Amino acid sequence: MELTLIELSKNYEETIQVSASQEACFQAVATQMDKWWTRSTEGCLNGVGDKVTARFPPDYGFWTFEATSFESLNRIEMICTDAHHKVEGQPKEIDQEWLGTKIIWEFKTVGDKTEIKMTHDGLTPTLNCWGICLDGWNHFFKNSLKSFLCGEEPSPHVST
């Protein structure tokens, strides 16, 4: 299957709706990544300049993000400032592909639900990690975070 130029430049972008409050959703992303993304999370985001590192032991890598925009309860933008992605059988260029990419989280109330839109600006099909990262975000964002916010059992990465 061939991808068109538009499809190749399209960033990862997904939206979920949950019954949790907008504040609970915002806090889950800003301060509780260890509950739904990876248990090995260091730091949290309480304002611009704050950093968080998501580690994937034993040796799958880590990513450090710095908050560049922080609008309490509505939006968080964070840029990847350090990256190490190790995937056996993948080209070495995969290691730094997230460096400089941005993740944008947008939160809004829609009826009796909260909608969370996540855009990973720079994560496109042109990257070596596209398939792996697409599967990862679909799991951690669309399944684990959604489960966490709906009071169900989330499935963050746990060291093996």
Rounded CA separation 28/85 (Å): 24
Helices (H), 12-86: 22-31, 33-36
In Å, the largest CA–CA distance within the chain is: 46
Rounded CA separation 112/63 (Å): 34
Span 100-116, average pLDDT: 98
- Give the CA-trace dihedral at 144, 42, 135, 122, to 10 degrees: 130
pLDDT of residue 13: 97
pLDDT of residue 105: 98
Residue 23 CB neighbour total at 10 angstroms: 12
The model carries a pTM of 0.92
pLDDT of residue 3: 56
Confidence of residue 7 (pLDDT cuts 50, 70, 90): low
Instruction: Please write the tens of the pLDDT for every residue from 47-100.
Output: 999 999 999 999 889 999 999 999 999 999 999 999 999 888 888 889 999 999
The number of helix segments (H) and strand segments (E) in the chain equals 5, 7
Give, for 130, the enclosing helix (H) or strand (E): helix 130-139
Domain 13-149 has CATH 3.40.50.300: no
pLDDT over 70 (residue 8): no
Mean pLDDT (the chain) is 94
Q: Among residues of the chain, what percentage have pLDDT more than 70?
A: 94
pLDDT over 60 (residue 132): yes
* Dihedral angle sign, alpha carbons of residues 85, 53, 103, 136: positive
Span 11-27, average pLDDT: 97
Label residues 81-103 b or e (16+ Cβ within 10 Å = b).
eebbbeeeeeeeebbebbbebbb
The letter for the amino acid at 115 is E
* Through-space distance between the first and last CA atoms of the chain, rounded to whole angstroms: 35
Confidence of residue 120 (pLDDT cuts 50, 70, 90): very high
pLDDT of residue 88: 86
